[in-house]
Amino acid sequence: MNESSQGPPRLRTVAGLTGALLLVASCASTPPPTATLQAAEQAISSAEKADAGRYAAAELGEARAKLASANDAVQEEQMILAERLGEQSRAAAELAAARSEAAKAAAVNEEMKRGNEALVEELQRSSGVPR
């Protein structure tokens, strides 16, 4: 009877240790999110080329900060957090690029509108038609 009373606690101990080992192994085996971080870096580079520093500085700054935090998380071996921060960085950089392109398109639109107005005025002047 003495052995049977020790059986369940040993089983629980072994099960507990096995669970802890699996948890440690799963955390240790998570590779760095290299592809995610590279995608974020590329998105930031594209946003910079789109002149996001001028048109979407806040979003570009957020992308850079998230990427820096993601790199810190990799150093601290927090790969899941690094992956999430890398994805957020990429998204912020893509938003910065999109806002920058939209602002530049709006500026071109406005310039074309002013050019059209000038042409209309010139036509009216040369034809003698009053406004």
* Burial (CB count <10 Å: 0-12, 13-18, 19+), residue 104: middle
Cα 11 from Cα 96, distance rounded (Å): 56
Q: How is the chain split into domains, by residue range?
A: 33-106
pTM above 0.75, yes or no: no
Encode pLDDT of 19-75 as tens digits.
655 555 555 568 999 999 999 999 999 999 999 999 999 999 999 999 999 999 999
Structure tokens at 82: 């690094």
- Which amino acid, 58? A
Q: How far is CA 38 from CA 19, 79, 89, in A?
A: 34, 14, 11
